[in-house]
Structure 1
Amino acid sequence: MERLRIRKVAVLGAGVMGAQIAAHCANADLPVVLFDLPSGEGDRNATVLRALEGLKRLDPAPLAESQRLGWIQPANYDDDLEALRECDLVIEAIAERLDWKQSLYERVAPFLAEGVTLASNTSGLSITALAQALPEAVRRNFCGIHFFNPPRYLPLVELVPHAGSDAARLDALEGWLTTRLGKSVIRAKDTPNFIANRVGVFSILAVMHHTQRLGLGFDEVDALTGPRIGRPKSATYRTADVVGLDTLAHVIGTMQTTLPDDPWHEIFRVPPWLEVLIRQGALGQKSGAGVYRKEKGNILVLDLSAGTYRPAQGEVAPEVEEILALRDVRERFARLRASGHPQAQFLWALFRDVFHYCAFHLATIADSARDVDLAMRWGFGWAMGPFETWQAAGWRDIARSIEEDRAAGLTLANVPLPAWVEGLEGTHSAKGSWSAARSTWVGRSSLAVYRRQLYPDRVLGERFDDPGETLWENEGVRLWRRPDQDQGVGIVSVRTRHHTLGAAVIEGILEAVARAERELDALVLWHEAPFALGADLKQVLEAAQAGRFDQLETMVERFQQASMRLKHAEIPVVAAIEGMALGGGCEFALHAAHRVFALESYVGLVEVGVGLIPAGGGCKELAIQAHRMARRTAGGDVFAFIQPMFEQVAKAKVSRSALEAQAIGYGRVGDDVVMHPKELLYVAIRRARSLAEAGYRPPLPEREVVVAGRNGIATCEMMLVNMREGGFISEHDYRVGKGVATALCGGEVESGARVPVEWLLAVERREFMALLRTPQTLERIAHTLATGKPLRN
């Protein structure tokens, strides 16, 4: 078939999910038409307009850049259906009612363009049943595209065909969803609630059952089912509040209605306490109260025994905490099962029942155990999927324990484990992942799009040959390459924890660039997220407390030299950025010849948080940016461009996306933004090669930079004075802010003076070292290292 071209998208339904799906399409540079019912009064598109206003208030933000809102066109079903003819993809995202969806399809079908892809964002309704309302020409290009909330941030999309779906269209759509929208796609079978919700909602139901059986508090259970067992901070009941208790009840109802023969059907029901909350309008976060509610800044939790709310505590018993801290997973599970403490009994029962359920249903809900595990990681934020966890805990021991508990009447369903369980040591191996439906091991998808993911998410036990070849390394960095991708492009990866930048990293960067200039055509600075969390503060604090300030100043100078070597290397250096690029990480990115960002890149110069200023060339780079922008204006006023830079550095502003990083000057207009983070290295290698092939030449150093000087510093100080007198900043904040202003404005020189780049670097170093000698800054660094939080002293 022809290449799938999607130039414009329509979203039917401006509810919570529909509006956010539209926002994410806009993030991907796609114009969107967002439909809903016409309003009876005033503007006919009032429903959609309210939804668009609501996007501005959501946290986390659905829009990667606020201006993207303008890419979403409001529309209604009465007046604007002709707009569908311009759309190549139409995503339906209305309420989960089969009859409503089918009625809408009948209404819009005459307006769909020939060859359009139509998809439902249903969370669990039958795709086959939905397809029956469509004409044959549309039906073959119809499928389920199930996003997870929030669609910008949760990677999972379940792609669900029906029997008549066009196979080639599905393959092309999977590739498009992956690269253009940055989604991690699982092909799900057309079974109720598909994969992730089927397992995830069962897990929630099991939690609810065992919570009541063992008399545990909701906050106590959330303390147990969060990060301690590799689940998100929102755990179980907080997640239910975020999703919406009415939405959860609806999904449970779908399972109850559509799965009458499921051996676990007895627990597919909404608990009475949840029905009461829904009747009262306590639907969770969206209504201000649910299982939890906030009152005067305090978090309260529903206490079923008292019938009211109480302060949330959520404590884990010391003996259970000790078990969960065990590094040996097999011992951890054995001790949970053997313990008599209700919290340990709860955790064992929860894992046991989820393992049991997944094994029993694997053949009918998924092609392989890999699909189940990745669906739970990508859609529900689990650190490990159920089959991975079972395998890590000892496959045969756990299987034996499940059968023993079943014989004793302890499991939630009295059905034996499938026969295939007995013959395996786990569901993932070097041969692939187990497919119960096919009774064989299956490998990864062979679609071309996955060749762009050089290091895809793996499941426990899965094996990949890594063709990476080390060229040189020290304690701080590794210089290597992927000969299977490009023999002449080197990769520099920082090896420290959180990729902090200490002496070994700085020296490693200098050496790696020198070697690359001699032996390679281009260089990529890449490692998995975070890109870098800034300087090694522990190293800085220890040296400062020991009075080794000369050594520290030399280190700062070497840092600046490393930044300048990245900028002026004889070969192109491409920074591949994902996650946080803070402080020195931002400075390295600023000095690269080119940047390839993952969309979720959070970039900023945040040194003021520990009482310092950027001194790895970051202030110098911003001053040069202001100089260049001022040259294009009639008045040539440098300070007009310095002022917003001062505010963002003095406030330690961090971009909320790669798009925002470009907008505020931490990237450039020509930089690449990759939607799927696993494609980042692939794209960066090719960008580096293209720069090299184009005859890359390093930028000539600026001979002179026009700076804002004393007048600029004074104007910045006026802002600081107002903030200090208003009680918004402390005296030391004022001192740090003035250091930022001094570095950005080029020091105590006349406004409009022309200074060399070396002068700007010297000003940075001087201000940085002066602050480092103050007790307040050392207190801030020590506090941040101890608590992970900033200190305002």
Structure 2
Amino acid sequence: MNRTIKKVAVLGSGVMGSRIACHFAGVGVPVLLLDMVPKEAAESTKPAERNKLVNDALTAAVKSNPSPVYTKDAVKKITTGNFDDNMKDIAQCDWIIEVVVERLDIKKLIYDKVEQFRKPGTLVTSNTSGIPIHLMAEGRSDDFKQHFCGTHFFNPPRYLRLLEIIPTPHTDKAVVDFLMYYGDIILGKTTVLCKDTPAFIANRIGVFSIMQIFSLVDKMKLTIDEVEALTGPVIGRPKSATFRTADVVGIDTLVKVANGVYENCPDDEAKDLFKIPAWLQKIVDNNWLGDKTKQGFFKKIKTPEGKSEILTLNLDTFEYAPKSRPKFASIDAAKPIEDLHQRLKMLVQSPDKAGEFYKHFHYGLFSYISHRIPEISDTVYSVDDAMKAGFGWEIGAFETWDLLGVERTVKAMQEAGHSVASWVTDMLSKGHKSFYKIENGKRLAYLPATGDYAPASSGDDSGFIVLSNHTDKLVWKNNSCQLYNIGDDVLGLQWNTKMGSIGGDVLSGIQTAIEKAEKDFKGLVIGNEGANFSAGANVGLIFMLAIEQEYDELDMAIRLFQNTMMRARYSSVPVVVAPHGLALGGACELSLHADKVCPAAETYTGLVELGVGLIPGGGGTKEFVLRAADEMHVDEPDTITLKNRFLTIATAKVATSAAEGFEIGVYRKGLDEVVMNQGRRIAEARKSVIEIYDSGYVQPVQRNDVKVLGRSALGALLSGINGMQRANYATEHDGVVARKLAYVMCGGDLSEPSLVSEQYLLDLEREAFLSLCGEKKTLERIQSVLKSGKPVRN
């Protein structure tokens, strides 16, 4: 691809524009962010006054939570200006993204200015979600048309991975190919090629899904709280489920998209579902639009005691009442089932009201998506990818259909009065029983246009490795782990425990994987495909052993964890870890001991054990001491480096992105490598294993030269801990734990700085961990985490 993006212009600094600018800055691209001159500053010559609108918008974006950038320093790459004074500066930009108000006449006025200043060949795209792309290209020059298309980001751009690419008939194919590539590799997006149809793919299917649920509310007499219980994480959807999602997006926005489909899709067989029900129209008329108006389907209030409480709207009385906890026998029975696929099968087959809802919902959804091909897309995987990346579905609609059995479900749908597109019945008549299949580790999808299977990807899929696609190359497994041959003489290990927790089975899996890799392979990749890599060690096991005072067994468990981490560090072949999502506690310790880490950009890592009244006991404390020793400089006091490392652990600091993982010292600059697209991290990790092995990998030797500072640093750290307690920044028990940590990190009560071995530090670490397991307040914290997910502050 002979195109480079050195600078981007974003025209429009509203909620989307400012956050799109932040995302580009976050990946390292300089941005010019422009907006209007405020009316009151029309005659002013002061840049601060003329740029007030854009500057205020950017400031609000940067302050928003969650952060739109990977690190705060990224904002320095954004230059602000206004349409009157700075439009000429777009001549220095390689990509111009228009994000102004959703009115065609205003967009065309902006494009008139763009055509005056853009250099030929510059990309111009619109982030519109509702205006046909081809209408915006009308009347423009040939060069503009060739380099123009839609690029629909989802809000917030950093976190929602979908980027819909919508070309016009005039768009150069090379431009489309470049945007698909750039969005994937550089921006970390799931890029989906869309047709220029109303609401494109994700909003078309997503809003249909919501409107269908609204119709079932009336048909089945369901309450809002019942729907939220039925349509959230239990079926692989976000916690915001249905009505909360509408509040977040904006109920007026939802109604606008629904009206747009109803008015502009006369041939949509389900268009009547997009009619706004009377109760929804009343909500809009009341201006109860969700979060933006502080009330919608839900409303947050303060109780007389000063506590926050969420109230739910009653759609019959239009009054708010405390949230209820609906009870469905099938959901109660399904919740303990960790595997989403098994859980969905059970729920749809349930004989209660929930099962009835799931049948109605899925049959209607399957019918609708079948009729949208080839209208909105030629491929089934584009529909699934769009819903997973844009609406946070864990499993796509066609994937769910496969799971429930296409042939069996089609029969049930027809009996229930739901039509199915002819291409689906044609597929079944040809003997093809599923929309997807796996061959040689690659996923193929049925292509209706050809009547055969093709790679489930719009471009080169060689950079995507899905571990579970290699079931035909399973090397070993136990109750929690699976070890695969992922090609090129590399093994891949994953586990499927709750929250990716690391217990005995997982530790055994890591040890076995390394042993097998050392024998017959170049190295090992460790990753998994759950929502998170791992929330850390199995604290339930620790609590059980501690509460029963099984200290010998607890000592053995800690030794096993330490030995496994050291096995990863000192294996005879490279071990590369590819985390994503949460990588906390023990998972962070595994990263600290890997030869290399290839974290997804959205990886949240840190040594968080202090929060539950413990210190890192799986080699994490030892490794931070070792790294501090290696970082000590002759021109500054040694205690500064150690203190910084100590505070990172003592405050249970968590990096809120992989980039911050370097800042807190978990990842190593020049060695570990961030992967923007989460789906590519396993492939990047495999490539790293091969590169490290082929460069002449030599098995490392355990260190005996780790400098520890003894009493000279211990006094300073203990003084700091006492100060934190006196200022009420730390509780008494926080102080107990922190003093144990300080003791270990200083190498004990040594009279002078000394050189010690890693094993010496591991022993100190283990002894401190064990002693803290006997503390009543530590056990209270662990118990609180097990019950509520949060440690008690004691």
On whether the aligned pair clears a TM of 0.5, the verdict is: yes
Name which of 360, 366, 373 aligns with 2:384: 373
Matching of residue 124 in structure 1 with residue 133 in structure 2: no
Q: Match of 2:610?
A: 608
**Which residue identity does 2:656 align to in structure 1?**
R
Answering whether residue 492 of structure 2 is matched by residue 482 of structure 1, we say no
Residue identity matched to 2:667:
G
Q: SS of the residue aligned with 1:589?
A: helix
Partner of residue 770, structure 1: 771
- Displacement of 1:558 in angstroms is 4.3
| Counterpart in the other structure of 1:224 | 230
Contact 1:179 1:449 (8 Å CA) reproduced: no
Between the aligned partners of 2:594 and 2:450, the Cα distance in structure 1 is 50
- 1:720-765 Cα deviation digits (max 9, x unpaired): 4455456554433321122122222322224655544443223212
Residue matched to 2:587: 585
Find the counterpart in structure 2 of residue 39 from structure 1: 38
Deviations 1:242-268 (A, max 9, x none): 112232232223223322443433343
2:211 is the alignment partner of 1:211: no
C-alpha separation in 1, matches of 2:285 and 2:240: 24
Q: Evaluate the alpha carbon distance shift between residue 677 and residue 19 of structure 1 in structure 2; reply closer, same or farther with a 3 A threshold.
A: same
Task: Give the one of 94, 100, 104 matched to 1:94.
Answer: 100
Question: What does 1:507-518 align with in structure 2 at a 5 Å threshold?
Answer: 509-510=510-511, 512-513=513-514, 516-517=517-518
8 Å contact kept, 1:106–1:133: no
| CA distance in structure 2 between the aligned counterparts of 1:754 and 1:331, rounded to whole angstroms | 59
How far apart in 2 are the matches of 1:430 and 1:764? Answer: 48
Distance 1:141 1:684, change over 3 A: same
Paired AA for residue 36 in structure 1 = D
Aligned to 2:395: 384
* 1:418 match: 421
Q: Could you say what secondary structure the match of 2:165 adopts?
A: strand
Matched, 1:453 2:468: no
Pairing of 1:282-681 with structure 2 (within 5 A): 282-296=288-302, 297-318=308-329, 332-333=347-348, 346-396=357-407, 398-406=409-417, 416-425=419-428, 428-430=435-437, 432-436=444-448, 438=449, 440-444=451-455, 449-455=460-466, 468=473, 470=475, 480-483=484-487, 486-487=488-489, 489-493=490-494, 498-503=499-504, 505-506=506-507, 509-510=510-511, 512-513=513-514, 516-517=517-518, 519-529=520-530, 530-631=532-633, 634-635=635-636, 637-670=637-670, 671-681=672-682
| Most deviating of 366-375 and 591-600 | 366-375
- Partner of 1:16 in structure 2? 15
Look up the equivalent residue of 1:658 and give its one-letter code: A
Q: Which amino acid aligns with 2:526?
A: L
> How far apart in 2 are the matches of 1:768 and 1:353?
54
- What does residue 45 of structure 2 align with? none
CA distance in 2, matches of 1:118, 1:664: 38
Structure 2 Cα separation of the partners of residues 604 and 465 of structure 1? 31
**Partner Cα separation in structure 2 for residue 443 and residue 393 of structure 1:** 22
Q: Name 2:441's counterpart in structure 1.
A: none
Contact 1:102–1:133 under 8 Å retained in 2: no
Distance in 1 (CA, whole Å) between partners of 2:372 and 2:3 is: 34
Structural RMSD (CA):
3.2
Contact 2:187–2:676 (Cα < 8 Å) also in 1: yes
The alpha carbon displacement at 1:369 in A equals 2.6
In 1, distance between residues paired with 2:370 and 2:711?
71
1:25-63 deviation digits (Å, cap 9, x = unpaired)? 222221222221123435322222122212233232221
1: distance between equivalents of 2:343 and 2:241? 23
Specify whether residues 163 and 345 from structure 1 end up closer, same or farther in structure 2 by C-alpha distance, changes over 3 A only.
same
1:96 CA drift (Å):
2.1
Aligned-partner Cα distance in 1 for 2:174–2:396: 30
Structure 1 residues 239, 738: CA separation in 2 closer, same or farther (over 3 Å shift)?
A: same
Change (3 A) 1:108 1:427: farther
Question: Any unmatched runs of 5+ in structure 2?
Answer: 42-47, 303-307, 439-443
What residue in structure 1 maps to residue 791 of structure 2? 790
Contact map agreement 1:124 1:193 (CA 8 A) in 2: yes
Distance 1:170 1:312 in 2: 47
1:149-298 correspondence to structure 2 within 5 Å: 149-278=155-284, 280-296=286-302, 297-298=308-309
8 Å CA contact retained: 1:231, 1:383: yes
Deviations 1:439-492 (A, max 9, x none): 623422576531100228x9xxxxx6667463x666776665433xx22x4445
Structure-2 change in CA distance of 1:66 and 1:562 (3 Å): same
Higher mean alpha-carbon deviation, 33-42 vs 507-516, is at 507-516
Cα deviation, 1:77-117, whole Å, max 9, x if unaligned, reads: 11112221222222222222222222212221222222222
The aligned amino acid for 1:657 is S
Q: Which amino acid aligns with 1:254?
A: G
Deviations 1:521-540 (A, max 9, x none): 44433333533332233443
Distance 1:560 1:218, change over 3 A: closer
**Could you report, residue by residue, the CA deviation over 1:519-566 in whole angstroms, capped at 9, with x for unpaired residues?**
544443333353333223344344444544234334433433433343
Question: 2 CA distance for matches of 1:328 and 1:656?
Answer: 31
CA distance in structure 1 between the aligned counterparts of 2:516 and 2:422, rounded to whole angstroms:
57
Report SS of the residue matched to 2:182.
helix
Once residues 455 and 333 of structure 1 are traced to their aligned partners in structure 2, the CA distance between those partners, rounded to angstroms, is 27
Counterpart residue identity of residue 482, structure 1: I
1:65 aligns with 2:65: no
**Residue in 2 aligned with 1:4?**
3
Residues 39, 482 of structure 1: alpha-carbon distance in 2 compared, 3 angstrom cutoff = same
Distance 1:360 1:513 in 2: 49
- Answering whether residue 55 of structure 2 is matched by residue 56 of structure 1, we say no
Shift of 1:517: 4.7
* Percent identity over paired residues: 35
Which secondary structure state, in structure 2, belongs to the residue aligned with residue 599 of structure 1?
Answer: coil
- 1:461 alignment counterpart: none
Cα deviations by residue, 1:654-694 (Å, 9 ceiling, x for unpaired) = 21110011111011112210011121121122222223333
Give the CA deviation at 1:403.
4.4
More displaced, 116-125 or 558-567?
558-567
Tell me how far 1:703 sits from its aligned partner. 4.7
Distance (Å, rounded) in 1 between the aligned partners of 2:236 and 2:706:
51
Q: How big is each residue's C-alpha offset from its partner over 1:204-235, in whole Å with a ceiling of 9 and x where there is no partner?
A: 22222332454433233222222233321111
Task: Select between 760-769 and 550-559 the one with higher mean Cα deviation.
Answer: 550-559
Relative to structure 1, the CA distance from residue 176 to residue 785 in structure 2 (aligned partners, 3 Å threshold; closer, same or farther) is same
